[in-house]
Amino acid sequence: MKKIVVVGGGIVGICTAYFLQKSGFKVTIIDKEDPGTMTSFGHACTFADYASIPVNSPSLFSQIPAMLFKGDSPLAIDFFYLIKNLPWAFKFLKNCRKDKVEKIAKSLANFLKHSQLSYDEIFKEVNVSEYIKNEENIYLFDSKKAYDEYKYATLIRKKNNVKVVELSKNEIHDLEPNLAPVYYSGQLFVGSRHTTNPLSISKKIFENFLLRGGKYIKENVKNVSQKENSIELSLENKRIECDEMIICAGAWSNIIANMVGENFPLDTERGYHVLFETDQQLINRPIAWSESGFYLIQIEDGIRAAGTVEIAGLNKPPNNQRTNMIERQSRKILPQLGKVKSTWMGRRPTLPDALPIIGRSEKNKNILFAFGHQHIGWTLAAVTGKAINELIKGNKPNFDINDFSPNRFK
C-alpha cells in the first residue's frame, strides 16, 4: 500500500488522514504542533453549512477607508501590510464583483451541501455526540440599516437553497432571553449545528486514526523535494520518504508549496477570540453579531466570542485593539458575562477568490493540496478529506471540486 504523508494536523489534515487510513493507506501526519491546536482550536465552533457568502462583496469598496483607519470595525486592514501586498489585494477586489461573488457562493454552497454527511461518516465511528449541539445558529442585526444591507447576501443564500427563518425582536427574546435587547431583528439557519469543544473533536478523530495504525511525527517540515517517483521531506532531525504528500498546513501551506517551486496567492485573515467566565447557561446557540462580525458561543470552558477579520499577515503579533473591541461588544449584547479568562488569535488560510485549493499538483505529480478554507475550514474539513481520498485512489469525487483547482491562478 502507498505511503502517504499529510503535512499539517489541523482539522483538514486530521480528517484527510482519517479517510486515507480507512482506505488502507499507510499514513503519517507531520505537524510541528499538537494536532488541532492552531487555527482549528479557537474558532467560532459552528458547522456552518449555510456560510457560502464570501467576505468579498460588492459593498466592500465603500467600506475600505473605515477599515484602514478605524481599528474596531469587523474587518480591519493594516495599511503597511496592504501596501506590501497590493497584488493580493487587487486579486481579492476583482472577486468583489457581483457576478464573481455569486459564482463563488454557488461553488461553496455546492460543496457545503456534502459537509454534514461527510462528518457524519466519521462520527458514526468516532463518538463525539457529547460535544455536538443541534440548537441552530442565529444572526443578529443591530439596526434596520444592517438588516437592509444584508438583503443581498440573504438572497444569494436562498438562491443556493439555504433555509433561513426571519426572526422578530420578540422571537429572538423567546429563543435567547438573556440577550440585551440591543438588536433590531435576526435570522436563524435551519439545520445548522455547533460544537462545545472543537479540540476534543479533533483529538478524538486523531486518536481513532492512531488506533487504526496511523503515525504522527511532531516536527517542523523544513524542506521537500520531488524525486523521480516519490517525495523526500527534511524534518529537523531526519528525512523521510513517501509515495504521495498532501499539503494541509492551513495558512502556512504556501511556505511548503514554495519548497517544491509552487506558488499560490495564499494570505491570512486573522481572527480573534475572547473567552469569558460564566457559571450558568446564558445562551443556547451560536449568536452572530452583525455590528462587529463575531459569534458568541457557550462552550465547555465558558462563553467564547470569536470572529472578526484583520488583514495583517502571518507574523505580526496579536493586536489588543481587536480583542478589546470584541470584549466591549460582547458585554453590550450579554451584560451577564464574567471575567475574561483568555484571548486568542488564529490565522484563516484565504485565497483571493475565497475558494480552497483541493487537488493534485500539475508540476509535482506526487503532491496534492488541501488548504485555503478561509472562514469555513472547520465545516469543510471532512468533505475535503473525502475528496482527497478519492483523488489518491484515482477516482473522481462524486461532488464537484473543479472550481478548487490548484491551477486556477496560473
Interface contacts to ligand FAD, rule CB under 6 A:
7-13, 30-33, 38-40, 43-46, 48, 220-221, 248-252, 256, 271-273, 306-307, 346, 348-349, 371, 373, 375-379
Minimum separation from the CB atom of position 181 to ligand FAD (A): 25
Considering beta carbons, is residue 337 or 382 the nearer one to ligand FAD?
A: 382
Considering beta carbons, is residue 24 or 198 the nearer one to ligand FAD?
A: 198
Considering beta carbons, is residue 22 or 347 the nearer one to ligand FAD?
A: 347
Report CA 235 to chain centroid distance, whole Å: 27
Minimum separation from the CB atom of position 341 to ligand FAD (A): 16
Considering beta carbons, is residue 186 or 377 the nearer one to ligand FAD?
A: 377
Minimum separation from the CB atom of position 94 to ligand FAD (A): 22
CB 266 within 8 A of CB 377: no
What gap in Å lies between CA 197 and CA 179, rounded to an integer? 23
Minimum separation from the CB atom of position 231 to ligand FAD (A): 14
What gap in Å lies between CA 210 and CA 14, rounded to an integer? 11
Considering beta carbons, is residue 8 or 352 the nearer one to ligand FAD?
A: 8
Q: Which residue has the cell 473591541?
A: 325
Query: Based on the number of CB atoms within 10 Å of its own CB, is 232 exposed (0-12), middle (13-18) or buried (19 or more)?
Result: middle
CB 273 within 8 A of CB 306: yes
CA terminus-to-terminus distance, the chain: 33
Minimum separation from the CB atom of position 148 to ligand FAD (A): 25
Please give the C-alpha separations between residue 19 and each of 36, 126, 178, in angstroms, as whole numbers: 17, 12, 41
Joined together, the cell numbers standing for residue 153 give 447576501
Report CA 395 to chain centroid distance, whole Å: 26
Backbone conformation region of residue 60, classed left if phi is above 0, alpha if psi is from -120 to 50, else beta: alpha
Minimum separation from the CB atom of position 169 to ligand FAD (A): 25
Considering beta carbons, is residue 179 or 256 the nearer one to ligand FAD?
A: 256
